[in-house]
């Protein structure tokens, strides 16, 4: 039934293109020489460009927390602390409102700085940003240590987890029956212990439970917050997913037994020429595992945000009744699917981490050892 609904909505969305009518408008584009020249484009192309820019802006991190932007271009939200280091002028600290969303040049300690595409560049008093042929800024960047909206959400989720799970831990001191949030979260905690940690790690699962529980709920809460109307695409930031994957990688390597290292550097049971061949393959595989972790989480969450926002943007492209009905319904269906993906990605990251921990602690019995054990 769900497939039929999606097919019908898809047909309506395609059919609605015949009703879309747009007028030509004149916009100004900057060429490679920095000169603005008028270019006549259709209203549809202009709307598509605006929607694309808005989606790209949503996927990026930001130095201010904007809940929404009005039609007049007014940003509704609040500024965040901006901290950056310039090797010439040292450390600088201010609020992001000083940049006025990239519209103003900030003078600090004798230097001039401008926010361009959520990156801080050194510039002159007029705020000149030099672009290359690919429209990338060539100005000198500073070392940005700001409290961006992604950092803010990480802090909020961390404090929320401390509050929730601290309360659950205290509730067990008086009774073994969970209360409050424990009634909802205890089944998930038991699921991670009984269906993820024990089967994949084995008897040594207890020393990894703290990390597995933390990583599961941390990713889950970030994914859920990212689906809210003012949501922040934290797990769609490859730097965040890379940091999480590095934690899994380091824990795996530092808790591995000698058998794990033996199978990487000198594979038992093989002729020595094959051992030499297998060594670089195993070393590469050791680094591919965390890379697969970070790419999987990053790609799935980013793709979900792009698809949902693109469907919403189609309403403003076609501007007709059919699109106004079809695309919101299709967006709602995919939004429900994205909630499932939020749980699924937290589960997959946790499960694969447990698999890697289990591989690092697995005891392999070789041919000679099996014979001794048999006798």
129 with 183, same domain: the answer is no
Last residue of a domain, one of 100, 119, 147: 147
- Quote the tokens at residue 78: 């609040």
Spatial distance between the Cα atoms of 6 and 333, rounded to a whole number of angstroms: 8
Is there a domain that residue 308 lies in? yes
Q: Is residue 30 part of a domain?
A: no
Integer Cα distance of 324 and 166 in angstroms: 46
Separation CA 251–CA 146 (nearest Å):
28
- Is residue 260 a part of any domain in this protein? yes
Q: Pick the closest to residue 110 from 95, 121, 122 (CA basis).
A: 122
Around Cβ 328, how many Cβ atoms within 10 Å? Answer: 16
Do 250 and 315 reside in the same domain of the chain?
A: yes
The answer to whether residue 251 is domain-embedded is yes
**Domain termination residue (choose one: 147, 175, 190):** 147
Number of domains in the chain: 2
Look at strands 81-86 and 75-79 and give their pairing: unpaired
The answer as to whether 332 is a domain residue is yes
CA–CA–CA angle 271, 273, 279 (5° rounding): 100
Asked, for residue 312, whether it belongs to a domain, the answer is yes
Taking a C-beta distance cutoff of 8 angstroms, is the pair 227, 332 a contact?
A: no
Same domain, yes or no: 213 and 142 = no
The range of the structural domain enclosing residue 91 comes to 75-147
Assess contact for 314 and 331: CB atoms under 8 A.
Answer: no
Q: Are residues 115 and 184 part of one domain? A: no
Task: Using the Cα atoms of residue 211, residue 213, residue 214 and residue 215 in order, give the sign of their dihedral.
Answer: positive
Q: Find the DSSP H helices in the chain.
A: 2-15, 43-59, 149-174, 182-191, 198-201, 206-226, 238-254, 258-265, 272-318, 321-361, 367-374
Identify whether residues 131 and 274 lie together within a single domain. Answer: no
- Ordered mean pLDDT values, 10 residues apiece, the chain (375 residues): 41 36 44 47 64 68 78 76 89 89 86 88 88 84 90 92 88 75 86 93 91 95 85 85 94 88 80 83 89 90 82 77 80 86 93 92 57 38
In a domain, 215, yes or no: yes
CA diameter of the chain: 88
Token pair for 209: 């439970």
What is the pLDDT at residue 47? 65
**DSSP symbols for 27-81:** EEEE-TTS-EEEEEEEHHHHHHHHHHHHHHHHHS--SEEEEEE-TTS-EEEEE-E
Q: What is the pLDDT of residue 259?
A: 83
Same domain? 133 vs 235: no
Q: What pLDDT does residue 212 have?
A: 95
pTM of the model: 0.79
In this structure, the answer to whether residues 195 and 328 fall within a common structural domain is yes
Same domain, 229 and 361: yes
């Amino acid at each position: 039934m769900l497939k039929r609904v999606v097919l019908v909505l898809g047909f309506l969305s395609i059919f609605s293109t015949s009703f879309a009518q747009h007028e030509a408008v004149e916009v100004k584009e900057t060429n490679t020489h920095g000169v603005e020249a008028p270019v006549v484009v259709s209203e549809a192309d202009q709307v598509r460009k605006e929607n694309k820019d808005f989606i790209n802006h949503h996927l990026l991190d930001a130095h201010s927390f904007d809940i929404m932007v009005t039609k007049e271009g007014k940003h509704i939200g609040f500024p965040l602390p901006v901290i950056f280091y310039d090797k010439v002028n040292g450390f600088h600290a201010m609020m992001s409102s000083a940049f006025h969303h990239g519209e103003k040049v900030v003078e600090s300690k004798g230097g001039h700085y401008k926010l361009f595409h959520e990156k801080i560049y050194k510039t002159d008093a007029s705020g000149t940003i030099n672009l290359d042929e690919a429209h990338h800024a060539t100005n000198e960047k500073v070392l940005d240590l700001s409290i961006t909206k992604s950092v803010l959400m990480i802090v909020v989720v961390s404090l929320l987890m401390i509050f929730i799970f601290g309360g659950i831990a205290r509730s067990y001191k008086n009774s073994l029956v969970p209360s409050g949030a424990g009634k909802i979260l205890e089944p998930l905690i038991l699921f991670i212990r009984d269906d993820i940690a024990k089967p994949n790690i084995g008897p040594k699962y207890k020393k990894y439970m703290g990390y597995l529980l933390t990583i599961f709920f941390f990713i889950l809460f970030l994914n859920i917050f990212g689906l809210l109307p003012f949501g922040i695409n934290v797990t769609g930031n490859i730097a965040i997913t890379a940091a999480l994957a590095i934690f899994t990688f380091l824990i795996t390597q530092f808790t591995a037994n000698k058998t794990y290292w033996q199978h990487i550097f000198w594979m038992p049971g093989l002729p020595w020429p094959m051992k030499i061949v297998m060594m670089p393959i195993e070393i590469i595989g050791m680094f591919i595992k965390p890379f697969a972790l970070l790419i999987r989480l990053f790609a799935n969450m980013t793709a979900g945000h792009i698809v949902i926002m693109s469907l919403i943007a189609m309403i403003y492209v076609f501007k007709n009744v059919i699109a106004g009905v079809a695309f919101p319904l299709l967006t709602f269906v995919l939004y429900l699917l994205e909630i499932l993906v939020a749980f699924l990605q937290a589960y997959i990251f946790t499960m694969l981490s447990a698999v890697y921990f289990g591989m690092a602690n697995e005891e392999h019995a070789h041919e000679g050892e099996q014979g001794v054990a048999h006798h």
